[in-house]
Amino acid sequence: MHVLLVDDEKEFVNTLAERLSFRGFKVDYAIRALDALALAEKNVYDLAVLDMKMPGTNGLELKGLLEKIQKDMKFIFLTGHGSEADYVAGSSESACYLVKPVKIDALIAKMLEAVKP
């Protein structure tokens, strides 16, 4: 599975990328929406894991832009919201999101579920 990680916290995204690589995933990461779009122009991704709140372009906006480049890409959102209940109440994207800090096994389970045909 080829995965694109996007989060403005570089120390978070590069370490998560490394850990997913250990587990056999092919991973690229970006800390800015523009860089993520450039990667999506060059590579085909099965899935993108996007931070909800990023400077400039937020996760939902980036999802829309990435879908214009690769319509079959699947998405998972990460958020720093305080509680799962808060987020479920406030978001229509609750089917595919995880709250930081994320357990890697839970993330991988969501990733596999998201790309299931």
Q: Does the protein bind another protein through residue 19 (CB under 8 A)?
A: yes
In the stretch 29-58, what mask flags binding to another protein with x, by CB under 8 A? Answer: ------------------------xxxx--
d(CA 47, CA 65): 14
Size of the site for another protein (CB under 8 A): 21
Interface residue with another protein among 34, 38, 95, 104 (CB under 8 A) is 104
Interface residue with another protein among 81, 91, 108, 115 (CB under 8 A) is 81
Length of the chain: 117
Query: Least Å distance between CB 102 and another protein?
Result: 7
C-alpha torsion 37→91→76→81, nearest 10: 100
DSSP label at 29?
E
Interface residue with another protein among 24, 64, 101, 117 (CB under 8 A) is 101
C-alpha torsion 59→69→3→105, nearest 10: 40
| Amino acid identity for residue 46 in this structure | D
Residues binding another protein (CB under 8 A): 9, 11-12, 15-16, 18-19, 22, 53-56, 78, 80-82, 99-102, 104
